[in-house]
Structure formats: structure tokens, C-alpha cells
Amino acid sequence: MNRFVLPLAVFVLMVGLLGYGLRLDPKKVPSPLIDKPAPAFSLAMLDDPSRQLSTADMSGQVWVLNVWASWCVSCRAEHEVISLLANRNLVTVVGLNYKDEPADATRWLKQFGNPYATSVIDRDGRVGIDWGVYGVPETFVIGADGMIKYKHIGPVTHESLEKKIMPVLKELLS
């Protein structure tokens, strides 16, 4: 009888942990980078690879970094919303083109429109790793102090733009 109790207890514990995990929202993964300095990068610009953009170039301003790729279906779904954000002209929206072929990314922006002040190329994904990117799309709000103030995992929707991102931006811009 005792030899069945321990396996049964382990099984019940595992079912309980699985049940708990299934109720969690994967978009609410806490980022250890919130209120920490934005990881530094200096990357080639997609539209002119002979030029670079760095986090130092963004110093002193509130800005948004949107991680995207031409192969990302969810990026296409959020593209209209990122375009709406950019068209408000409140902040600079920078694209981080993640693990993508530059020719594919350029073609994608020509087809769907380019909401970014510029996009930089993170071909091997190393900058994405520094920023704690789990996958694309992800969006970061960076304050004028260079600190990451908000991270959105997954596609930005109209609702998440208005209820999550805009309040953070308005607070930072006030």
C-alpha cells in the first residue's frame, strides 16, 4: 500500500501544478527589465545598412521599440495598430527586425506600409536576447531616462494600445 501512496501524491501534485499553469496568461510574463536600463545596442538600419542606430541616439526621449519580422504572422495582425501609434506622432517608434532577411523585411514594409521612424537589423537575434525577447512580436516603452517602463508580449491590439501602452506613454510624456 505504501508504495502506491508516494506515486499517487506526486501525480496529484503534478496535476495541480498543471491546472494552475493552464490558468496563467502567457502575455503576463513578468519582465526582469522593467525599471532597468534598456540594453544598449548599435545596429545597422534596415533602409540604409551603412548607417547605425544606437540606444544612445534615443537618449533623453520617450520611445517605443517594436520587435517584428516578415515571417511573423502575429506581426502582420498588429501592424495596423503599430501604424496607428506611429501616426499619433507622440513618440518615436523604432522597429527591431528580428532574425529576418533584410530583403524580406524591406519587401514586407513596402507591401504593408512602414510605421517605423527606422528599423534596425537584429539578424542573429543577439540584441533580442539582451532585451529578453521570448518571440515576436514584442513591444517595449522606454522612458527619457533610458529605463524600460513597459513590455507587451504578443501582438498589440487596439485594446492593449489604449488600456496599457497609451497610459504609460501619457504618464511619461506629462
**10-residue mean pLDDT series, the chain (174 residues):** 69 69 56 89 98 97 98 96 97 98 98 98 96 95 98 97 98 96
Provide CB contacts within 8 A for 170, sequence distance 6+.
none
Q: What is the pLDDT of residue 19?
A: 66
- Is 12 among the domain residues? no
CATH of the domain at 94: 3.40.30.10
Q: What is the pLDDT of residue 26?
A: 54
Provide CB contacts within 8 A for 38, sequence distance 6+.
55, 65, 131, 140, 142, 146, 147, 148
Structurally, the chain folds into a number of domains equal to 1
Domain span holding position 122: 27-173
Q: What is the pLDDT of residue 3?
A: 75
CA–CA dist 127, 122 (Å, integer) = 6
Cβ atoms of 154 and 122 within 8 Å: the answer is no
- Is 108 among the domain residues? yes
CA–CA dist 124, 37 (Å, integer) = 22
- Is 95 among the domain residues? yes
Q: Which of 135, 61, 59 is nearest to 98 (CA)?
A: 135
- Is 128 among the domain residues? yes
- Is 7 among the domain residues? no
- Is 6 among the domain residues? no
- Is 18 among the domain residues? no
Provide CB contacts within 8 A for 168, sequence distance 6+.
141, 149, 150
- Is 9 among the domain residues? no
